[in-house]
Chains A and B, each alone.
Chain A
Amino acid sequence: MRPRRRAGWAPVMFLAPFGLLFALFFLLPIGYAIYESFLKVHVSGLGLGPGTSTTVFAGLANYGQVFSDSSFLQGVSRVLLFAVVQIPVMLLLATILALLLDSVAARFKRFFRLAFFLPYGIPGVIAAILWSFLYLPGLSPVVAALHGSGFGTVNFLGTNSVLWSIANIVTWEYTGYNMLIIYAGLQAIPADLYEAARLDGASEWRVATRIKLPLVTSSLVLTAVFSIIGTLQLFSEPQVLRAITDNISSSYTPNLLAYTQAFTANNPNYAAAIAVVLAIGTFILSFGFLRLVQRRGAAV
C-alpha cells in the first residue's frame, strides 16, 4: 500500500533540482535546435563587414536542403548499411558468448567474462586511437602478420574497407557490454525452469534455444535499441580515423556532417536541422523496432 496522506511540498523539493537541470540541458536545447532549424542567415552583397548578414525565418527551407543534400543521404545510407550488418553480428556474438558463459559445459568462466567485458572500460575515442595503430601499415603487427602469412598487403583503410574497420572497432568495444546485459537476463531465470527440461533429457542446445533465449528477449530488445541509437550517432570512431586516412570525408556520417556544418562551414542553422532530422529518425527507428517486436508477441 502506498501512503495515501497528502504529499505536500516534499516531492516538489526532491524533483526540483533534477527537473530544473533537465529543463535547462535537455528540453531547452531540443527546443532551441528546432527553433534554429527554422532560421537562415541571409547574406547581402559579398557578406563582408558588419550589417551585411541578417537572420531571417526560413520555414522548412533547411529541412528541404537536408533531404536533397546528397552528402547527407549518402551518410545516412552508410550508417544504415553499417547498422544492418554490424548490429546483428555483434548481438549474435554477444548472445552466443552469454549462452556459453551460462551453460554448464564451459570452463574458466570468470576469466572469460572479464576478458570479454574489458574493452567496454576503454572509452570510445581511445579504443579508436588504439585500433588506428593496429590498422596503420608500418606500425601494425596485424598488417605485418597478415603479410607474413601470405595474405598480401591488407588495406584496412581503403575506400570500402574502412567502414568495416570502423565496424570492427565498435564490435570490439560493445560486444562485451551487450553480452553482460544478456547474461544478466540469463542469470535472472530461475534455474528450476530449465533443470526440469534437462531431467527430461533435453540437450543443452534445446534448453538454450527453447527456454533461455525466449526468456531474455527483453534484454535482446534493449541491446538492439541501444545499438540502433548508437550507430545512427556514429562520430568518434570515424573522426579519429580521419587522422590516418583520406577515405573518410567530412560528411562520412550524418553526425560528422552536422559537426562540419556547424564548426567548419559556419552554418549552425543547417547543422541544427540535420541534428533534428537525425534525432527524429533515431526515435522513429528505435520506437519502430520496439513496436515490431511487441507485435510479434515478445514479452517486453
Chain B
Amino acid sequence: MAAVNAVVRPRSFPSARERGSAGVTKGGILATAFMFVCAVYFLLPAWWLIVSSTKGPSTLYASEGFWFSQLHLMSNLTGLFSYDGGIYWHWLINTLLYAGAGALCATLLASAAGYALAKYEFGGRQLIFSVILGGVLVPGTALALPLYLLMSKVSLTNTYWSVFLPSIVSPFGVYLARVYAAAAIPDELIEAARIDGASEGKIFRVVALRIMSPALVTMFLFQFVAIWNNFFLPLVMLSNTRLYPVTLGLYTWNNQYGQAPQLVSYVIIGSLISVIPLVVAFLSLQRFWRSGLTAGSVRL
C-alpha cells in the first residue's frame, strides 16, 4: 500500500508551508553551500562537454577547458553527421529502436505477467514470482556471455534481434507491476466487469492497464535506461557497425584516435547530442522515478 500512497498522496500542506517560511539560519547557509559544491561537481563535466563540443580541433587542446573559444559548433555537427557515410544517424535510430521499442515491449509483457501474479489464484504462483524476483539479482553481464554462445548456435549473433530480444525481458518490471496491481486495482472492480460480461483479456486492457498507467510509465523509464545503459550485450553480440547503438559506436570512435584525430571532436559532440533528449526526458519525468523507487524500496 505504501507504494501507491507515495504515488497518489501529495505532501501535506502545513508541512510545505512551514518549509517555505523557514528563515535564513546558519545551518541553512551551510547546507546550501555544501549542496552548491556538490552541484558544481555533478554539473561541471556536463558543462565541459557543452563547451568542448563548440570548439575546433586546435582550440580543443589549446584553450581554457571550461570556457568557450572560437565557435566551431556547425562544422563539428556536419562532421559528426557525415562521417563514415552518416553512420551516426544509424546509431541514433538503432538506439531509439533498442531502447524505445524494447522498453515498450518489455512494459507490456511485464504488466500482463505482474497483473496475473497479483490478481489470480493459481498453483505455483508464489514459486513463479520468486523465480522472477531472483532474476532481478542476476547481473546482466553474467547472462551476456552464455547468451552470445547460444545465439551463435542459431546464427542470431550480429543481428538486430540478438540485442532486442534479451532486452524486452524485465523481471524488475514484473515485480513493480505486481506490487502496483495488487495495491491499486480493487477486486470488486474486476468482479463487476466480469458480471457485466467482459472477457478476462478485455478487463486487463480496459480496466487494469488504465489503473496501472503511472506504474507503466515508471516501468518503461526503468527499462529504457537499463537497455540504453547496457553496454556489454551489444559489445559481445554485434560486429556490424551499422547495427550499433550510439554508446557502442562512440566507444569504437573513442578507441580510434590514433588513426583519425578529428574523431575526438566527434566523440565529444556525439556524446552531447545523444544524451540531450534523455536528460530532458529524465528530469521532466522525475516524479515517476520517485514513485517507482519507493515501490522498489518499500517491499524489498
Q: List residues of A whose CB falls within 8 A of some B CB.
A: 1-5, 7-8, 10-15, 17-19, 21-22, 24-30, 32-33, 36, 93, 96-97, 100-101, 103-108, 111-127, 129-134, 138-142, 144, 172, 175-176, 180-181, 183-185, 187-188, 190-192, 195, 204, 218-219, 221-222, 225, 229, 232-233, 235-236, 239-240, 243, 255, 258-259, 262-263, 268, 271-272, 275-276, 278-279, 282-283, 286, 300
* Interface residue from B145, B171, B293 paired with A33 (Cβ < 8 Å): B145
Interface: B76 (CB within 8 A): no
Among A104, A181, A271, the residue within 8 A (CB) of B18 is A104
Q: Binding site of B, secondary structure by majority: helix, strand, loop or mixed?
A: helix
A-B contact pairs, 10 of them (CB 8 A): A14-B113, A25-B166, A26-B138, A30-B138, A105-B25, A126-B271, A127-B45, A129-B254, A180-B289, A275-B142
Provide the main secondary structure of the chain A interface. Answer: helix
Chain B residues whose C-beta falls within 8 Å of the C-beta of A103 in the assembled complex: 31
Contact, CB under 8 Å: A176 / B138: no
Task: Find chain A residues with CB under 8 A from B60 CB.
Answer: 139
A145 to chain B, nearest CB (A): 8
Report if B103 contacts A (CB, 8 A): no
Which chain B residues lie closer than 8 Å to A138 at the CB level?
61
Q: Please report the C-alpha to C-alpha distance between residue A213 and residue B49 in the assembled complex, in whole angstroms.
A: 36
Question: Which chain A residues lie closer than 8 Å to B146 at the CB level?
Answer: 29-30, 32-33, 36, 272, 275
**Chain A CB within 10 Å, residue with most, of B11, B43, B141:** B141
Q: How far is the CA of A138 from the CA of B247 in the complex (A)?
A: 25
- B281: chain A residues at CB < 8 Å are 121
Number of A-B contacts (CB under 8 A): 300
Contacts of B247 in A (CB 8 A): 123, 125-126
**Contact (Cβ within 8 A) A118 B279:** yes
Beta-carbon contact of B115 and A121 below 8 Å: no
* Contacting pair B298 A262 (CB below 8 A): no
Bound-state Cα–Cα, A151 to B131, Å = 54
> Given A232-B139, A279-B139, A283-B137: A188 and B294 within 8 A (CB)?
yes
B291 to chain A: which residues have CB within 8 Å? 184
Let me know if A18 and B112 touch, CB within 8 A.
yes
Task: Indicate if B207 sits at the interface (CB-CB under 8 A).
Answer: no
Partner among B18, B65, B250, B283 whose Cβ is within 8 Å of the Cβ of A141: B65
- Contacts A100-B35, A279-B139, A282-B139; is A125 near B149 (CB within 8 Å)? no
User: Which residue in chain B gives the minimum CB-CB distance to A282?
Assistant: B139
Contacts of B282 in A (CB 8 A): 117-118, 120-121
Given the contacts A10-B120, A105-B27, A222-B296, A262 and B148 also touching, CB distance less than 8 Å: yes
* Shortest Cβ distance from B66 into A: residue: A141
Check B74 for interface membership: any CB of A closer than 8 A.
Answer: no
Select which of B2, B25, B42, B264 is within 8 A of A188 by beta carbon: B2
B217 touches A (CB below 8 Å): no
CA distance A225 to B5 in the complex (A): 25
Task: Check B190 for interface membership: any CB of A closer than 8 A.
Answer: yes
Report B's interface with A, CB cutoff 8 A.
2, 5-6, 11-12, 14-15, 18-19, 22, 25, 27-28, 31-32, 34-36, 38-39, 41-43, 45-46, 48-49, 52, 60-61, 64-66, 109-110, 112-113, 115-117, 119-122, 128, 131-132, 135, 137-143, 145-150, 165-166, 168-169, 171, 174, 187, 190-191, 194, 200-201, 204, 225, 228-229, 231-232, 236, 247-248, 250-251, 254-255, 257, 264, 267-268, 271, 274-275, 278-279, 281-283, 286, 289-291, 293-294, 296-298, 300
Chain B positions within 8 Å of A117 at CB level: 282-283, 286
Given contacts A15-B116, A33-B142, contact A112 B229 (CB under 8 A): no
Partner of A233, one of B31, B48, B139, B271: B139
> Roughly how many angstroms separate A131 CA and B18 CA in the complex, as a whole number?
41
Q: Are A21 and B290 also in contact (CB < 8 A) when A126-B275, A181-B297, A236-B231 are?
A: no
B279–A122 touching, CB < 8 Å = yes
Contacts of B296 in A (CB 8 A): 181, 222
